[in-house]
Structure 1
Amino acid sequence: MIYIDSCLIQSADEEDEQYDGCSCSLNDTCAECSCSNRFGINYNSLNCLNINKTGPVFECNSECRCSFELCQNRVSQKDDQCNNVEIISTPNKGSGVISRKSILHPGTYIGEYVGEVLSENEAHRRILATENYEHNYLLLYNEHQSGKIIKTFIDARYYGNWTRFINHSCNPNLHIVPIRIDQPTPPRLAFFTLREVQDNEELSYTYGTMIDEKHSKPCHCSSSSCTGFMPYQQTD
């Protein structure tokens, strides 16, 4: 794997608009600016995702006049938890990621799932080509917008970062939140905590919503609510 800090996009959508920036001054925190308040305030005073947040997350962008250091609406653009995590070997799941210190506040930003952003056709081609591999690093995220399903495919097999090693759990402590900054697509797929995380606790999220014995692999998450099978996202 080649380590990268941001996603590699095969081809940009030329029809995507550049979002307008806020007019905050360099001394503003952007706690309630036009970007952060577009669909409700995104983050609280602790820089954690608001627990009541239900709408899309728009962070300040390259057109904004605010200071990157003082802005409170650029959480996913700042440092992640890479210095506070450790990649480990697990008995039944291959590699995994643990937090080396406790994370007290729900909504804490953990990191972004990065890799190659693929078209749907290329994603299907790679799924067929790698179906016999033990590990699959192709993440599909489905968003429901105005009766439509918006699909984002990110493959971290060849290019990625440490988040590719985060395992599934039927009782996860993380979830994925799509974040938009400059343009509508592709969104950044960011991990945030769902609850307090203890030191040396393994980080995890749910791999999908679909479960069947034909397509699902055995699950080894060992949680009390384990379904016995790994869920997946339906690609069709």
Structure 2
Amino acid sequence: MCKFFIGFSYFIYHVSRFFLHFFSMTESIKESRKSVIEDISDGERFSISLIYDEVKELEELRNIFYKYVKNCVLPSTASSSYYDGCDCEDDCGSEDCGCKSTHGFFYVSRGLNTIFLQSTSILPNISIYECNSNCSCSPSICPNRLTQHGVSLPLQVFKSDSGCGWGVRSHMRKIRKGEFVCEYAGEIIKTDEARRRWITAKEKNEDNYILCLKEHVQDRVLRTNIDPTHIGNVGRFINHSCDPNLQIFLTRINSLIPTAALFAKRDIEINEELSFDYAGGMNDNNDNMQEINTNVERKKCLCGSQYCKKYLPFDQSL
């Protein structure tokens, strides 16, 4: 009887290993049947691959997304090099660096100092100023030039299983906490134009990708609208989550107009989907970011987080 159970257990063990191997092969075959575009970016330092099942999916995307850009497209009236640069001839390591002493220094080891990640929301009164075209430091080695170089690691666009359409995941390696991932790049547009585009998208039952950044400066509210719907970068495909693994920080380089940089809030595993809070992490009743309008039919949130607020953030000024 003992030998029977030992033999039976041995048999079950090998059958289990067979099925595990079989299912593993099945998943591998299933994945291999997908089509892959190795790089959809236009000159990013790291490739942005896209994986899809059907040509129809790709054609639908191409009918909407016209052009990939590495950084935000600023209005032609935007001023360049609006603030003085540093006169460092090294790598801006000295405390005497003009940019560092004037605006502060946020980066360590080519990433964000994690002390700034303690907050669960965007920091509306903090803006990262990077060295710019007026600086004498080397663009290639200066540690205060990070987001301006574009995507910092390989990423992949894929069809998310959550029902949110396209998504983005880390690809080939883990992402460490504080690491810069990408900018949320698109067209910088005025609020009137953002409102017009939002209404048009709603009438056509199309998705709205416009991100509104609001900064409170004394008694004024500075608003920046970024629309990556037709012209944008990989950030356009990153989905919302009420418990995201990325966090937005405002960055300024050569213009008064800020851009939105996405940093890892925590360590992110290989092939883990990336997400950020479309409201910047603010409470819905806080007017710093996107707000509730009860007269508007809001889109349901599908993030699946235990902290899910049930609906996607919405800016009532649109």
| Correspondence for 2:242 | 170
Aligned to 1:21: 85
Shift of 1:31: 6.0
Distance change in 2, residues 1:77/1:125 (3 Å): same
Question: Retained in 2: the 8 A contact 1:140–1:153?
Answer: yes
Q: Determine what percentage of the aligned residue pairs are the same residue.
A: 36
Which residue of 209, 214, 225 maps to 2:307?
A: 225
Match of 1:152 in 2: 224
RMSD between superposed Cα atoms in Å: 2.1
Q: Which runs of 5+ in 1 are unaligned?
A: none
Name the structure 2 match of 1:85. 155
Per-residue CA deviations over 1:8-36 (Å, capped at 9, x if unaligned) read: 2333246x8711010101x3334642213
Instruction: Go from structure 1 to structure 2 and tell me whether the alpha carbon gap of 1:140 and 1:65 turns closer, same or farther (over 3 Å shift).
Output: same
User: In structure 1, what is the equivalent of residue 258 of structure 2?
Assistant: 187
User: By how many angstroms is 1:56 displaced?
Assistant: 2.1
Provide the C-alpha distance between the structure 1 equivalents of 2:75 and 2:81, rounded to a whole number of angstroms: 18
Taking structure 2 as the reference length, the TM-score comes to 0.67
Q: How many residues align?
A: 230
Residues 171-216 of structure 1 show CA distances to partners (whole Å, capped at 9, x for unaligned) of 01111111111221x2121111111111111110111143566442
The alignment status of 1:37 with 2:119, answered yes or no, reads no
Partner of 2:112: 49
- The 8 Å contact of residues 70 and 150 in structure 2, kept in 1 or not, is answered as no
Cα deviation 1:64-123 (Å, max 9, x = unaligned): 000111200001122414x52111112310000011221122x21111111111011111
Report if the CA contact (8 A) 1:112-1:191 is conserved: yes
Write the distance in 2 (CA, Å) between the matches of 1:235 and 1:17. 31
1:128 aligns with 2:199: yes
Q: Which residue does the alignment assign to 1:62?
A: 133
Higher strand share: 1
Bigger relative contact order, structure 1 or 2 (CA pairs below 8 A, ≥6 apart): 1
Q: Name which of 98, 101, 108 aligns with 2:179.
A: 108
User: Would the alpha carbon gap of residues 144 and 228 (structure 1) be closer, same or farther in structure 2, given more than 3 Å must change?
Assistant: same
8 Å CA contact 1:36–1:57 kept in 2: the answer is no
Equivalent residues of 1:138, 1:156 under 8 A apart = yes
**Aligned equivalents of 1:215, 1:37: Cα separation in 2:** 47
1: distance between equivalents of 2:94 and 2:151?
20
The aligned amino acid for 1:144 is: H
TM-score scaled by length of structure 1: 0.89
